Structure 1
Amino acid sequence: MEVKSESALTKSAVLGISLILTSAPAINGALPAMRHDLNIGTSQNELLSTIPSLAVIVFIILSGFVERWLGTKKTIFISMILAGLGGIGPMFLSSYPLIFISRLLLGCGLGLYNSLAVNIISQLYQGDTRATLLGFRGSMENIGQCVLTVLAGLLLSLGWHWSYAIYLLAFPLAIFFYMVVPEPAKDDETLSVEEKTKAADSDEGNGNKIDPRMDHLHPFVWVLVLFSVFMVLDSLCSTLRFPSISVGIKGEGYNASFFLSLMPILGILAGLVFGYLNRKIGIAVLYIGIALYVVGNVLMAMSAHNFAFALIGMMIIGIPGAWCFPYIYTTIGEIMTPRMGTLATSLILIGCNIGNFISPLYMGLVGKLFGTDSLTAPFIVLAVVFALILIGLGIWNICRVMKRR
């Protein structure tokens, strides 16, 4: 198994399955045309972009049971086929309820292998290879989102149904994965290695250090989960509202897909420099990330009649997630054992999908609470939220430093 897993072909297949994991918003550019043709409201329309996240949340929880029943390899393969079928459904459907169900099926497939896309790398690889591939995997999500968003925009010229053809990619990726990737070791084999390592590291009597990391769920994890909800919610709100804001400024028929495709490119570039920034400035990278959220949301809030503000604001909001999420995962690895780290990561993934799902509901709620139909109103609230997070983080860090003294 080790020899097979080290091949470039196998690594490509393992990384390739992440290309469609964040593809649900890739069809956002088609939403204005769908709203007109299907004669539905803004909230119903935007829900088509985020409803897959509800299914993802449920099936992240169920994926462990399915994996134990079918095995990791078969679970990933079947999940990708389900995602592909759900993804291409709207190509042939013109009924909102049926399209809604199809989008749910997409979410079921994506959720079923969401955490497995990370776990299979940890199961097949060790050391630097594992770390490198985990870093590449995050970039693959952004690359996939970028490429699929561009393709969906190009296909939009043929009609909104054709934008959903991007999900045909799931089928060759699934077949390629199943053909070249070996079945990972069973849980008991993995555990035996972990137990040996833990025993070796924890024998203080033999001169080794006891692992200082916690073997329980740190309460601060729930704060990180909530933070993750807001980060993903903000990202989705910006990409959901930008096309409509653009149409309001530029006129009916304006296609914003090109600009939407640039957002993940910025995420890729930002992610590439995270390691360097983290080594040089440490926790300051988190402060900068949150500050960028504040600036981006302020610009979006002021963009009702200013296309440049909307564009720059959306682009800025696309940067900090590539710094904040890696910082969170790095911190989890430092303060928790691998077993608890896995649980914490799963909770954060669920938080991400909650943020994804509730984004249109949040935007509708803001409109009702403030009695406005302004497309930019949700960003005023988000700017305040991230400003409070930034202040709270600063106070917490000052208290922590003073306590150490």
Structure 2
Amino acid sequence: MLNYPMLLNMSTIIITGNLGSAASAGVVLSMFTVGGMVAGAIFGKLYQITSKFAMSVGMFMVALGMAFVNYANSIMLLIAGTTFVGIGFGIIMPSVMMILGMIAPPAGFTAASGIVMAFMNLGGFVSPYYMALLARISGQSSVRFPIFFAMIIYGISALIYTLTRLKAPPSTTAPGAS
């Protein structure tokens, strides 16, 4: 739900800001996918290095990317922002699945991952309504304010997750660890 406003409003941001054309929006948005591909390529090594903090790294990357997108005044900043968001999201999703695999019994993993994906898609469905609600409550633009809001939520979530993982016992960081 937090990512969709960036994806849905990119064309509007580019056109209203006189930053480019619809083709520019396509290039910028494709960088989200490229970022996800980069994250997929490095996830294994990143997880070995960061282990219980991989999710934190992903959330901080998304927050950074959302900041770039929110404050961007050029196509290059938008490209950098969407790439960071793609990398962050490409770290978050496998991290979620890793955590799910650690806490769900093997027989229940399929159902648990299906529920996660269902809620992810539900977030995409409710995103336009959420953007309108945020705009109405805040009195801000429904174009950039949800991106700013996402930046704040991801940043706070990353901080809270990091702090809770600092206090987590080692046995919850990897399957089979004691």
Hey, what does 1:335 align to over in structure 2? 103
Specify which structure has the bigger relative contact order, considering alpha-carbon pairs within 8 angstroms and separated by 6 or more residues.
2
Hey, what does 1:364 align to over in structure 2? 132
Displacement of 1:389: 0.9
- Kindly provide the amino acid, as one letter, of the partner of residue 328 in structure 1: V
- Kindly provide the amino acid, as one letter, of the partner of residue 319 in structure 1: I
Contact 1:235 1:318 in 2 (8 A): no
- Kindly provide the amino acid, as one letter, of the partner of residue 235 in structure 1: N
SS at match of 2:140: coil
**Alignment coverage as a number of residue pairs:** 171
Displacement of 1:395: 2.5
Hey, what does 1:376 align to over in structure 2? 144
Hey, what does 1:269 align to over in structure 2? 38
2-structure distance, mates of 1:322, 1:252:
27
Displacement of 1:247: 0.7
1-structure distance, mates of 2:75, 2:21:
15
Contact 1:238 1:317 in 2 (8 A): no
Displacement of 1:398: 2.8
What is the correspondence of 1:289-368 to structure 2 with a 5 Å cutoff?
A: 289-303=58-72, 305-368=73-136
1-structure distance, mates of 2:83, 2:51:
24
Displacement of 1:262: 2.7
For structure 2, the residue ranges without an aligned partner over 5 or more in a row are 173-178
Displacement of 1:268: 1.4
Contact 2:31 2:79 in 1 (8 A): no
Change (3 A) 1:295 1:323: same
What is the correspondence of 1:71-150 to structure 2 with a 5 Å cutoff?
A: none
Deviations 1:15-72 (A, max 9, x none): xxxxxxxxxxxxxxxxxxxxxxxxxxxxxxxxxxxxxxxxxxxxxxxxxxxxxxxxxx
Q: 2:11 aligns with which of 240, 243, 264?
A: 243
- RMSD between aligned alpha carbons? 2.4
Change (3 A) 1:332 1:253: closer
Contact 2:19 2:75 in 1 (8 A): no
Hey, what does 1:285 align to over in structure 2? 54
Displacement of 1:308: 3.4
2-structure distance, mates of 1:367, 1:334:
38
Contact 2:131 2:142 in 1 (8 A): no
Deviations 1:222-263 (A, max 9, x none): xxxxxxxxxxx2332212111111111227854221222232
Contact 2:28 2:82 in 1 (8 A): no
Contact 2:64 2:81 in 1 (8 A): yes
For structure 1, the residue ranges without an aligned partner over 5 or more in a row are 1-232
1-structure distance, mates of 2:162, 2:60:
12
2-structure distance, mates of 1:287, 1:243:
29
Structure 1 runs (4+) deviating above 4 angstroms are none
1-structure distance, mates of 2:141, 2:165:
39
What is the correspondence of 1:132-211 to structure 2 with a 5 Å cutoff?
A: none
2-structure distance, mates of 1:339, 1:247:
49
Which moved further from structure 2: 379-388 or 327-336?
Answer: 327-336
TM normalised by structure 1 equals 0.39
Displacement of 1:352: 0.7
1-structure distance, mates of 2:77, 2:87:
16
Hey, what does 2:175 align to over in structure 1? none
TM normalised by structure 2 equals 0.84
SS at match of 2:87: coil
- Kindly provide the amino acid, as one letter, of the partner of residue 379 in structure 1: I
The alignment-based identity, stated in percent, is 19
